[in-house]
């Protein structure tokens, strides 16, 4: 596996931004920019050996800099939503950016997706990897503590994109990091993903209110459109007359994984039978957010001038549960001062036999 580096563009603030290309001996290629840690391209083969770019994104840095759907980015400090944009920790109340109505979403007005990371090509386990480093200062977005974050991308010879997340803070804080890639296994320009099949290894999900904030319940998926315990097409129940689907205009929910943080147990799997491409997801995180690009409407013009419409892709964002900072029964996203936040997510690609 090799990594090459090239100039991408200057940011609006005049900072030099680069693109890093990770490529293995099979020809699988991932392009990542140190602006937002964004996966801008992911080329994987189909059953006939033809390569296609399977992630949504833009051609220009300036498009990533504008407010958008978070294509491919590292999300932090806190992925997903925090209700009323506030939480209490150690008896103190912290008020956060309100960047989605009354709520806080994906780190606020300037989250980790909108900053330039320091990038270095390093050697891990005998192979090159891309290491991105950023210091989130005390008070950024409203969060306490100087948080030193490291995200490492590596590509294996068996076509797995491995993302390692690491963080440490000098004050007690909350942390929830993820990647927001939009996947379409048929290719980013191929239309909707409704005929692609999905399995999520979860017996429960966290229902939400009309503002997409979890109610705090853990509800069984059995007998509902939220049941992906067995492989089914994404489109099968996406328009069901079901309150949770109506609230979010499709799927935009957190599933409670059965994996218990076991990186060797499959958390989710996507299959596109036409191309034969398969994506398996593994993670140490307790939850995964399925988002079916419900709010893309063709106004986002992507790579090669392609307009992206509703359901053009799906996101599988591994995470702590949304609003867990305000839900005592959810797994805790609190990071104590000096303790290490250490999580891994793997997106592994294959073809149907």
Residues with catalytic annotation? 180, 317
- Measure the CA–CA gap between 291 and 308, rounded to whole angstroms: 15
Contact indicator for 34, 20 with CB cutoff of 8 Å: yes
Contact indicator for 30, 263 with CB cutoff of 8 Å: no
- Measure the CA–CA gap between 54 and 275, rounded to whole angstroms: 11
Q: Which two tokens stand for residue 269?
A: 């799997």
- Measure the CA–CA gap between 135 and 131, rounded to whole angstroms: 14
Q: What is the DSSP string of 127-174?
A: EEEEEEEEEE-TTGGG--S-EEEEEEEEE-TTSEEEEEEEEEESS-EE
- Measure the CA–CA gap between 334 and 19, rounded to whole angstroms: 33
- Measure the CA–CA gap between 309 and 194, rounded to whole angstroms: 12
Cβ burial, residue 33 (10 Å; 0-12/13-18/19+):
buried
């Amino acid at each position: 596996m090799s990594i090459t580096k090239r100039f991408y563009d200057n940011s609006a603030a005049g900072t030099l931004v680069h693109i890093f290309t990770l490529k293995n001996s099979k020809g699988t290629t991932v392009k990542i920019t140190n602006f937002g840690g964004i996966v801008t391209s992911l080329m994987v083969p189909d059953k006939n050996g033809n390569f296609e770019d399977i992630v949504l994104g833009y051609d220009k840095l300036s498009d990533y800099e504008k407010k958008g759907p978070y294509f491919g980015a590292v999300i932090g400090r806190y992925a997903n939503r925090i209700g009323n944009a506030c939480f209490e920790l150690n008896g103190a109340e912290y008020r956060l950016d309100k960047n989605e109505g009354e709520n806080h979403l994906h780190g606020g007005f300037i989250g980790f997706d909108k900053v330039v990371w320091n990038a270095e090509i390093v050697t891990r386990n005998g192979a090159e990897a891309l290491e991105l480093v950023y210091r989130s200062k005390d008070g950024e977005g409203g969060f306490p503590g100087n948080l030193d974050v490291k995200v490492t991308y590596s590509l294996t010879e068996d076509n797995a994109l491995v993302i390692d997340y690491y963080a440490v803070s000098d004050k007690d804080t909350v942390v929830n990091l993820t990647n927001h890639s939009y996947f379409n296994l048929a290719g980013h320009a191929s239309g909707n993903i409704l005929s692609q099949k999905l399995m999520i290894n979860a017996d429960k999900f966290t229902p939400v209110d009309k503002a997409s904030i979890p109610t705090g319940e853990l509800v069984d998926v059995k007998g509902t459109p939220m049941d992906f315990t067995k492989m089914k097409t994404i489109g099968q129940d996406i328009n069901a007359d079901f309150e949770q689907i109506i609230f979010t205009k499709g799927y935009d929910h957190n599933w409670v994984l059965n994996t218990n943080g076991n990186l060797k147990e499959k958390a989710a799997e996507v299959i596109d039978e036409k191309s034969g491409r398969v994506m398996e997801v593994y993670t140490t995180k307790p939850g995964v957010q399925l988002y079916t690009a419900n709010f893309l409407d063709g106004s986002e013009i992507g790579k090669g001038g392609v307009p992206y419409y509703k359901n053009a892709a799906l996101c599988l964002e591994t995470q702590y549960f949304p609003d867990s900072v305000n839900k005592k029964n959810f797994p805790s996203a609190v990071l104590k001062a000096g303790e290490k936040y250490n999580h891994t997510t793997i997106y592994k690609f294959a073809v149907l036999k």
